[in-house]
Amino acid sequence: MRLALVSLLVLALLLAPYKLSEGLIQMDNVQRSNELFLLAATVAMEAEGESYRGKLGVAFVIMNRVQQRKKSVSDVVLDPYDFSAWNTKGGRQLALDNIGRVPWMEAEKAAASAYYRIEKDPTHGATHYLNEILTLKLRGGSLPTWLAAMKRTVKSGLHTFYKEVR
């Protein structure tokens, strides 16, 4: 009898939030949670070795694209070849579980700060960035052609941030 009563109490506690929300799961909360995770994961993989300010810059580039393109975070970060962390050839996403505690916490903080616009955008509206030294090395001494239509806004750590010239 006592076990049945405890089981009933546990079931009631588990179902209370469902009943209080009239059986509706708040999909906005689920979507926001997924968007923040993808934003933080992208920042962590793209800027793991950067300072907090560098991570914040990467997060703002993503959110600036979200605003400019009127797309979701997932659409922006998973757009083919836009963020090398998600490129299938690179395999960087396989190391997501190995990102250290401090870099991950900084990435989460930067993601939330950019998503909710808590802090000022350190990139001054940038929609692109790259590590020039690494890019030159990987591309045999050349930079991408898209840079011709860009204006440099700031350099932070190894990343240089750009926005389109209009």
pLDDT at residue 2, as a whole number:
59
Pairwise CA distance, residues 110 & 24, whole Å: 31
CA 106 to each of CA 7, 12, 96: distance values in angstroms, whole numbers, following the listed order:
41, 38, 14
The reply to whether 141 falls in a domain is yes
Asked if 39 and 62 touch (Cβ cutoff 8 Å), the reply is yes
The reply to whether 12 falls in a domain is no
pLDDT at residue 65, as a whole number:
97
The reply to whether 19 falls in a domain is no
Pairwise CA distance, residues 65 & 121, whole Å: 13
The reply to whether 23 falls in a domain is no
Number of domains observed in the structure of the chain: 1
pLDDT at residue 150, as a whole number:
95
Please list, in sequence order, all residues whose beta carbon lies within 8 angstroms of the beta carbon of residue 1, skipping any fewer than 6 positions away: none
The reply to whether 108 falls in a domain is yes
pLDDT at residue 81, as a whole number:
84
The reply to whether 4 falls in a domain is no
Residues of the chain with pLDDT under 70: 1-30, 90-94
pLDDT in tens, 94-126: 677 788 899 999 999 999 999 999 999 999 999
The reply to whether 56 falls in a domain is yes
pLDDT at residue 5, as a whole number:
55
Tell me the CA end-to-end span of the chain in Å, nearest whole number: 74
What is the residue range of 157's domain? Answer: 31-164
Amino acid at 148: A
Contacts 24+ apart (CB under 8 A), 134-142: 134/158
The reply to whether 97 falls in a domain is yes
